[in-house]
Structure 1
Amino acid sequence: MSSFSPTVFPFPVIVGDIGGTNARFALQEEPDGPLTMLGRFRTADFPTVSLALAAATAPAARKPRSAILCGAGPVNDRVCALTNADWVIDGPEIVRLGGAVEGLLLNDFEAQALALPALPDGVVESIGTVAPGAGPRVVLGPGTGLGVGALVEVAGRFAPLPSEGGHVDFAPFDAEEERVFVHVRRVEGRLTAEAVLSGPGLVALHHARLAAAGSSAPDGLDGVAIVDGALAEHASVEADTVRMFIRLLARFAGDMAIVFGGTGGVTLAGGILPRIRPLLDPAAFRAAFERKEPVESLPRRIATRMVTSPDAVLHGMAAIASHPERYAVDYDRRLWSA
């Protein structure tokens, strides 16, 4: 039986956040030292994570001796196959190819959850006025997919609760959503939260809204163009789509708050949200978040906030490297080493 005994990571340590579209890497030279960004790469530009790691570490004066990586997909036996990209992150293979002598592989929102206690000042912004309380903390966010995780504190150590919560069924709430959702493409017959609450989901939602109105979007319209149009004109159809996206996200966040009993607060992460922040109305967000009859008294007590930097999770992984004893990670089963 695993003892959850803490480990010691040899420094320097490379930390990496690997999503379906982008991979970000940073280097920490010593415990509690500053992070040096090594680069941000598109996953489509490299056939394997090992080649991306090699490109990231090439300019570094000191090569990493350890790696803590998180990937956007489930982790099984020290291997993570990305859900929305072709990469397979294989810890032992990274060691064999000379990437590091020791490492730890996490699910991306498992890492987002572990990062919550270590987020530096200035990278989070409150949504509404509810103050954070004690209890489980929830983190979720749209990107190439939709990630969900939680964090609990047990005997003074932080324990992550990874999930694939983005793949739960997602139903329309009112007549407007019923008209729109019928035009969203199902995945193997299911309409999931990720189908509308992700980067591709934003595009699908916009096409569905236009189809429900008897119109259509220009060919080749992508999420960047939709957000650019929304920010340029707050009365545009693109802005209406983004506001609906935010309302749906608030509703889903309230659902996850109930699922995890997240009285420690709900944190929204991911690269999409900081861009669309100008269209987020805190009062409207809280109204959708709290409308959970007959248990509305629970979300009304739960704080909500947004991470404003896409690189914030790297600070959390660096904190694990510096103080592994603070985190109830199953190191005995999860570490890979030479």
Structure 2
Amino acid sequence: MQFPLPALICDVGGTNIRVARLDRPGAAPATVGHAGTRSAQGLAEAVAAMEQARPARSMIVCAAGPILGREVKLTNAAWTLDGPAVAAALGLEQGLLLHDFEALALSIPTFPADRLQAIGPELGQPLGPRLILGPGTGLGAAALTTVDGRYLAIASEAGHVEFGPVGADELALWPHLEPVGGRITSESVLSGDGLSRLHRARLRATGDTGEPIDQAAVVARALAGPEGPEGDSVRLFWRLIGRFAGDLALIYAATGGVTLAGGILPRIAPLIDDKAFRAAFEAKAPMEPLMRAMPSRLLTQPEAVLAGMAAIATDPDHYVIDYAARAWCR
């Protein structure tokens, strides 16, 4: 498999599209543009508007939704992305579509050390499967392992599993959480909109009927006044992220550690309580010794996935991907 250069590298989320360009092997991808997902009819139209008269030969795209071969329907936006159709519209010789957290998992080996903030003790980088997860418009998760020295990512839709309360404080507010599609899922609580739902539920549980605010306002007020109710909601959000991360780490036996990503977490990093996070992460009796040995880190550079996908374009044979079934042009 080859991805002829220049190649476009695209990160398509429910809210934003980021596009970069790789002109030669080993180079850092250069930013092409950034747009709102809802501002364009589709990916080909968005890229054409950014690139104008600069044609590319191939493209690697990650998108926030379940991948079915060469197609994805975005979970939190109205796009259906058809890889071969995009290739035809842009005159590409080759292309590949990845789940957004599949791409993040494959990018873990390329993350700069100075963009990883330890949560809790520095435990190094033990051997074994590695997990990445995080909230943005939705909630994503994937694992990374190796097969004969090649990287293999295991994508998931873990954001859509049921999510329940633990402890008296959570039991008190859970009846006040607003269901999404009739369900309380991990994504409906642990996402951008989930933070605002969690904050509203906390206020309702205490009898506060004040005007509801969105997640941007929750974050702004929490950072400006950490001891206020918004700060309490963000700290609870972090604790729930820790619990959920520990659950998934246990499922994947992620002895290689856990990386948190997602657009919202770097913004609320000043309010993380490492001890509370690790306590929630490790409270998995009888597996506490296993959990205590798993490092946890926060990725503070959202654009890091673009460099990871550029590495795939440069050396595709280093990754275990079913190119025969998933590449756009045969």
Alignment-derived partner of residue 250 in structure 2 = 258
Alignment partners' CA distance in 1, 2:288 and 2:204: 33
SS for the counterpart of 1:133 is coil
Alignment-derived partner of residue 158 in structure 1 = 151
Quick check: 1:35 aligned with 2:35?
no
Alignment-derived partner of residue 208 in structure 1 = 201
Alignment-derived partner of residue 120 in structure 2 = 128
Alpha-carbon contact 2:44-2:90 (below 8 Å) kept: no
Structure 1 segments of 4+ aligned residues over 4 angstroms from their partners: none
Alpha-carbon contact 2:28-2:307 (below 8 Å) kept: no
Cα distance, 1:189 vs. partner? 3.8
Alignment-derived partner of residue 287 in structure 2 = 295
Quick check: 1:25 aligned with 2:25?
no
Alignment-derived partner of residue 4 in structure 1 = none
Alignment-derived partner of residue 106 in structure 1 = 98
Alignment-derived partner of residue 89 in structure 2 = 97
Alignment partners' CA distance in 1, 2:92 and 2:265: 33
Query: Which of 225, 234, 243 is residue 217 of structure 2 equivalent to?
Result: 225
Cα distance, 1:218 vs. partner? 1.9
Aligned residue type for 2:18: R
Alignment partners' CA distance in 2, 1:200 and 1:258: 26
Alpha-carbon contact 1:197-1:249 (below 8 Å) kept: yes
SS for the counterpart of 2:321 is coil
Aligned residue type for 1:58: Q
Alignment-derived partner of residue 8 in structure 2 = 14
Alignment partners' CA distance in 2, 1:150 and 1:162: 7
Aligned residue type for 2:254: G
Alignment partners' CA distance in 1, 2:113 and 2:251: 28
Alpha-carbon contact 2:3-2:313 (below 8 Å) kept: yes
Quick check: 1:238 aligned with 2:230?
yes
Alignment partners' CA distance in 2, 1:131 and 1:34: 26
1:76-121 residue CA offsets vs partner (Å, 9 max, x unmatched): 0200100000011110110121252210000001001000011134
Cα distance, 1:64 vs. partner? 1.5
Aligned residue type for 1:241: S
SS for the counterpart of 1:328 is coil
Alignment partners' CA distance in 1, 2:233 and 2:91: 43
Cα distance, 1:25 vs. partner? 0.8
TM-score with structure 1 length normalisation?
A: 0.95
SS for the counterpart of 1:284 is helix
Alpha-carbon contact 1:72-1:108 (below 8 Å) kept: yes
Query: Which of 160, 166, 171 is residue 173 of structure 1 equivalent to?
Result: 166
1:284-322 residue CA offsets vs partner (Å, 9 max, x unmatched): 211111111121111111000011011111111000001
Measured at CA, do residues 216 and 312 of structure 1 come closer, stay the same or move farther in structure 2, by a change above 3 Å? farther
Alignment-derived partner of residue 328 in structure 1 = 320
**Further displaced range: 209-218 or 118-127:** 118-127
SS for the counterpart of 1:306 is strand
Cα distance, 1:262 vs. partner? 0.2
Alpha-carbon contact 2:83-2:97 (below 8 Å) kept: yes
- Aligned pair count? 329
Alignment partners' CA distance in 1, 2:99 and 2:161: 18
Q: Which runs of 5+ in 2 are unaligned?
A: none
SS for the counterpart of 1:298 is helix
Alignment-derived partner of residue 318 in structure 1 = 310
Alpha-carbon contact 1:54-1:99 (below 8 Å) kept: no
Alignment partners' CA distance in 2, 1:276 and 1:97: 40
SS for the counterpart of 2:164 is coil
Alignment-derived partner of residue 284 in structure 1 = 276
SS for the counterpart of 2:11 is strand
SS for the counterpart of 2:105 is helix
Q: Which runs of 5+ in 1 are unaligned?
A: 1-6
Alpha-carbon contact 2:5-2:58 (below 8 Å) kept: yes
Percent identity of paired positions between Structure 1 and Structure 2: 48
Alpha-carbon contact 2:48-2:90 (below 8 Å) kept: no
Alpha-carbon contact 1:102-1:335 (below 8 Å) kept: yes
Alignment partners' CA distance in 2, 1:179 and 1:55: 50
Alignment partners' CA distance in 1, 2:196 and 2:150: 40
Alpha-carbon contact 1:207-1:217 (below 8 Å) kept: no
TM-score with structure 2 length normalisation?
A: 0.97
Quick check: 1:53 aligned with 2:47?
yes
Aligned residue type for 2:275: A
Alignment-derived partner of residue 3 in structure 1 = none
Alignment partners' CA distance in 1, 2:125 and 2:203: 39
